[in-house]
Amino acid sequence: MTPDGRRVLIILPAWNEADGLSAVLGEIKQQLPYVETLVVDDGSADRTAEVAAAAGSAVARLPFNLGVGGAMRLGYRYAREHGYDVAVQVDADGQHDPAYVPALLAHLGEADLVIGARFDGEGEYRARGPRRWAMALLSVILSRLTHTRLTDTTSGFRACNRPLIEFFARWYPVEYLGDTVESLVGAARCGFAVRQVPVAMRARTTGRPSASTVKAMIYLVRAGLVLLLAVIRRMPGELKELAPGSPSYAAYLEEQLARRQLATEG
């Protein structure tokens, strides 16, 4: 539990990450003793699940590979069933520095979804070529949709509050770029507030990244298609019952207010 009384779950989607996982989990435990972790082992062929369990993390093993989106949907359902107040998505490959998690949590007061974003002052990394154009296109369009400046829309480093956990547990796109772009568009279109926090990301500690520069051109085309679909798709009506402005969201706000008062008194 955080000092102000919130229960936080870090969800790590992992696919064949046995090599670096124990270091990543160790770092989380050391820097953030108040959080709990869930590793979603997505049909790994290596010892990912064993390594995670040995490091003291909860583990959910999928029988076959569902992709990051499928794994995250399971993560959000787990967070809902276990009553967590905050869910944070962190890569299992060590690219995301847990030292930034408190900054993400701090901004959850003013937004429902907080993204740890590169290209915003912190860190050195710059993309090149078609991949960079795709990222720029996504940033411009998504910034307009969410009414806030977004510089790294494909970042998998994000935190969300309880209403959004409920939302993602019911609706989470599992297709290509669904876990990043489409989930963001869906949440924004239903009225959830999005913010970003500048972070630096590290190079992968082990293995190699799934995206190569050769695939960057295809990436550009597919990103465009995903964006088009995300914008024209109709959001299921019953999801609006969870969004800001609904009675259930108002009840959530009241509860948060009471919790904060309790935390300052105690």
Ligand X SMILES: Nc1nc2c(ncn2[C@@H]2O[C@H](COP(=O)(O)OP(=O)(O)O)[C@@H](O)[C@H]2O)c(=O)[nH]1
- Interface with ligand X by CB under 6 A: which range of 11-19, 116-124, 141-149, 249-257? 11-19
The residue written with tokens 């670096």 in the block is 20
Determine which residue in the list 9, 10, 28, 40 makes contact with ligand X, applying CB under 6 A: 40
176 binds other proteins (CB under 8 A): yes
13 binds ligand X (CB under 6 A): yes
Give strand pairing partners of 87: 9, 160
Cβ–Cβ < 8 Å for 153, 138: yes
175 binds other proteins (CB under 8 A): yes
Question: CA 49, 52, 54, 59 torsion: positive or negative?
Answer: negative
Distances (CA, A) of 106 to 2, 85, 201: 11, 13, 19
From the list ligand X, other proteins, Mg ion, none, partner contacted by residue 210 (C-beta under 5 to 8 A by kind): ligand X
Phi/psi at 127 (5° precision):
-90, 165
- Enclosing H/E stretch for 38: strand 36-42
Of 202, 231, 182, which is closest to residue 20 (Cα–Cα)?
Answer: 202
95 binds Mg ion (CB under 5 A): yes
- Interface with Mg ion by CB under 5 A: which range of 48-56, 61-69, 87-95, 170-178? 87-95
- Interface with other proteins by CB under 8 A: which range of 99-107, 155-163, 199-207, 221-229? 221-229
Determine which residue in the list 3, 30, 33, 63 makes contact with other proteins, applying CB under 8 A: 63
Tokens standing for 218? 């295809």
Give residue 164's Cα distance to chain centre.
Answer: 11
Question: Using CB under 8 A, which residues numbered 222 to 261 contact other proteins?
Answer: 225-226, 229, 232-234, 236
Contact letters for ligand X, residues 105-144 (x by CB under 6 A): ----------------------------------------
Terminal-to-terminal C-alpha distance of the chain: 14
Q: Which lies closer to ligand X via its Cβ, residue 15 or residue 172?
A: 15
**Amino acid residing at 254:** E
Determine which residue in the list 20, 67, 173, 178 makes contact with ligand X, applying CB under 6 A: 67
Interface residues with Mg ion (CB under 5 A) are 91, 93, 95
